Each structure stands twice: as structure tokens, then as C-alpha cells.
Amino acid sequence: MRTYRLLLGALVGVIELSGCGLVSDDTANVDLAALQKPFTIDAAAWNLNPTSAVVLLGRTCAPGAVPDPCTAAVIASSVCKLSLCTSACNPDTSQCQLTLRTELWRTINLATDLPNLTPGSPDDDVLEVMLDDVTYEVPQNSFNVSTAELTVYLAPTSVTSPGGDGAMPIGSIRSIEAGSDSPRRSLDLHPNGKELVRRRLSEYQIPFNLILGSELLLDAGAALPAGRIDAIIGLEGRAGRS
């Protein structure tokens, strides 16, 4: 079995364990820039019909009614792409509210993403991993509205949506203001988020997905989203072998 030794973060000194050497001072280090994954939130993906959306958001409804009249209306009027949008009666306003979902994913596969890594010992079962940080940046933003909070998940490669079986949230990106770019910043990691990433990387033979998800709520009078946001989620550090 071919294996890879991976160390994310700063490599300080020489670490030695009897019978199982970690990264030593003669290790050939590999930059982890390839583990930065791009995501694009494009309003066009929702396929919004502006006229139908305005009519729906101005519709009055009875909170708690079964079936919900707003749910039926969004289907009948072709307001948006149904796989990414829903509507329900807002109990605070007694008007229909529209929810636009973002569900984007990218696969991390160490064998292909880090091709310069050299095979390690055949006896190695897992990688020794130290994770410094999970980051995000927004190099370009033409979105005309602020986003909802965005959540980052880890998931098996068969799962591509936040609600899928096995999707685990690791952290979040606060609302991004309309038209606002952002330099590289640390993700707001959940208490166990860093450890979840470390464990998935240590199981280096199993690729996994990074999923970016959010729900943007629109009420009557709200501006309909247009434009796009380009974002990058990255794992900082270096890789190597013993």
C-alpha cells in the first residue's frame, strides 16, 4: 500500500518516535497551496423570475395553514429553481418568505491534490497531521446584497449538500457585505472543527468533500440577488514525508 506522510502547519525541530519516525529535519516539504478550493456563489443558479418573485413575496398568508399556501405558490408560479429554493408563510409578517439555498462542494483528494508528495513507509496506516488554520478569502464580489452566514462542512464524496448523511459542520463565514472583497482570514471554527479536519486528513486514502452552504431569506420589499461572489477556502501549511 502506498502511503503519504503529511504535516500541516509549522515544522519545528526534529520529532522522533521509536519505531515510527515523524517528519525529520531532512524532510522534503511540499506547499499546500493545492488544497485551496475555489467556490462561486452565482445568483444565476437560483434562476429567479423577478416578476413572479415580487408577486410571491407580496402575497399574504395564514401562518400555520396546512398545506402552506406559499409552498404551493412557489411551485405553481415557477419563481425559482425548486431544488435550491422554498417558500413558507412568515409568522411575523403573515406574508410569503422565500429561502434561497447555496449548496456548493469541492473534493479534497491528497493523492491528486498533492502529487509531489513521495510515498512513505508501507507500514504507515495514517498520516501524522498538525493543522495550523482553515482560511477563506473573497477576491471578487459583485453581489448586490449581503449574504447570509455561510457554513463549511466536511462530508463523504457521495454527499454534496449540507443536509446529506455524514455532512459535519466545521466552521462558518460571517455575512459578506454586498460588493465587499475580503483578504485571507481565519474561518470561525466550531469547537471541534479543527480536529474534524485533522482526522479526515489523517485518513489520507479516503477523499472527502468540502461543502459551502447557506440560506438567504427574502421578504417583501427585499432586493432580489444578482451578481456573484468568488471565494477560496484553504488549509494552510506544508506537507512532507519521513
Q: Percent of the chain, pLDDT > 70?
A: 80
15-29, 115-129, 133-147, 199-213: the lowest-pLDDT one: 15-29
Asked whether residue 234 is domain-assigned, the answer is yes
pLDDT at 102: 97
- The H or E element containing residue 113 is helix 110-113
Q: Which residue has the higher pLDDT, 135 or 34?
A: 135
Contact predicate 138/181, CB 8 Å: yes
Question: Does residue 104 have a pLDDT over 70?
Answer: yes
Q: Looking at the whole model, is its pTM more than 0.75? A: yes
Backbone angles phi, psi at 134, to 5 degrees: -115, 125
Question: Does residue 70 have a pLDDT over 50?
Answer: yes
pLDDT tens digits for 3-62?
434 333 333 333 333 333 333 333 346 676 778 999 999 999 999 999 999 999 999 999
Query: Into how many domains does the chain fold?
Result: 1
Asked whether residue 71 is domain-assigned, the answer is no
All three cell numbers of 96: 410569503
Asked whether residue 77 is domain-assigned, the answer is no
pLDDT at 199: 86
Domain around 193: 30-43+102-214+223-239
pLDDT at 115: 79
The stretch 112-134 carries a mean pLDDT of 70
pLDDT at 69: 94
Asked whether residue 81 is domain-assigned, the answer is no
138-147, 203-212, 224-233: the lowest-pLDDT one: 203-212
The stretch 62-74 carries a mean pLDDT of 93
Contact predicate 80/114, CB 8 Å: no
Asked whether residue 193 is domain-assigned, the answer is yes
Predicted confidence band at 130 (pLDDT cuts at 50, 70, 90)? Answer: confident
pLDDT at 116: 72
Question: Does residue 175 have a pLDDT over 90?
Answer: yes
pLDDT at 122: 52
pLDDT at 166: 96
Asked whether residue 78 is domain-assigned, the answer is no
How far apart, in whole angstroms, are the C-alpha atoms of residue 130 and residue 199? 10
Asked whether residue 86 is domain-assigned, the answer is no
Contact predicate 47/74, CB 8 Å: no
Question: Does residue 168 have a pLDDT over 60?
Answer: yes
Q: In this structure, what CATH number is given to the domain that contains residue 187? A: 2.60.120
Asked whether residue 3 is domain-assigned, the answer is no
Neighbouring residues of 181: CB distance < 8 A, sequence distance ≥ 6: 138, 139, 140, 141
